[in-house]
Amino acid sequence: MANVKLAVIYYSSTGTNYQMAKWAEESGKEAGAEVKVLKVPELAPAAAIESNPAWKAHFEATKDVPEATSDDIEWADAIIFSAPTRFGNLPSQMKQFLDVQGGLWGAGKTVNKVVSGMTSAQNPHGGQEATLLALYTSMMHWGAIIAAPGYTNQVLFGAGGNPYGTSVTQGQDGKMVEDVEEAVKHQAKRTIDIAGRIIAGN
């Protein structure tokens, strides 16, 4: 799959979705894809970030991660989005990034992008599935091809069995409750595989 270009676009306040993005990057590179890990711009006020030690630490630690742009969407054959849930929906940072892609969408540049989503929440029923469905609603408007993991590998069951995309619970200690690393890596490889088939079909 050396000809597949994968953008892993994430939003993370304290690091969970960043870690998932890094696992997707690792898997993508192992599969032979050209991979970029990119963050969406932070919209929260500095006071909110400063008031949360974990948020502040992660914000500082990832200052050098490049921010995603419309050019990255156009460049990519496949896109994996990773973002936490906010009240059962996408966080405003990710939603804003999607909302400003109207120019690309209007020019037909989002059509046939192969996309997949990952998410996290503080509890298993904290909106994980709803967040991925919200993402995929936007992707249908883009004319993108959704590459959900379904139940295509046994590793998905150990990770919680979310067929819409890998999702993880973040415990009160800030650590992931479920072991989702292999599920993320499978999802990345599946996304790249489908993108490769689309490219070959063209």
Q: Once rounded to an integer, what is the mean pLDDT over residues 9-25?
A: 97
> How many C-beta atoms surround the C-beta of residue 84 within 10 A?
27
Give the Cα separation of 23 and 189 in Å (integer). 11
H runs (alpha helix) in the chain: 16-30, 46-50, 53-61, 70-75, 92-99, 102-106, 128-142, 155-158, 181-201
Domain 5-201 matching CATH 3.40.50.970: the answer reads: no
| Digit-coded pLDDT (tens) for 106-120 | 999 999 999 999 999
Domain boundaries, the chain: 5-201
Q: What pLDDT is recorded for position 174?
A: 86
What phi and psi values does residue 78 have, to the nearest 5 degrees? Answer: -135, 145
> How many C-beta atoms surround the C-beta of residue 108 within 10 A?
10
Query: 3-state class of 194 per DSSP?
Result: helix
User: Which residue's entry shows tokens 């630490």?
Assistant: 57
Of the pLDDT bands very low, low, confident and very high (cuts 50, 70, 90), residue 132 is very high
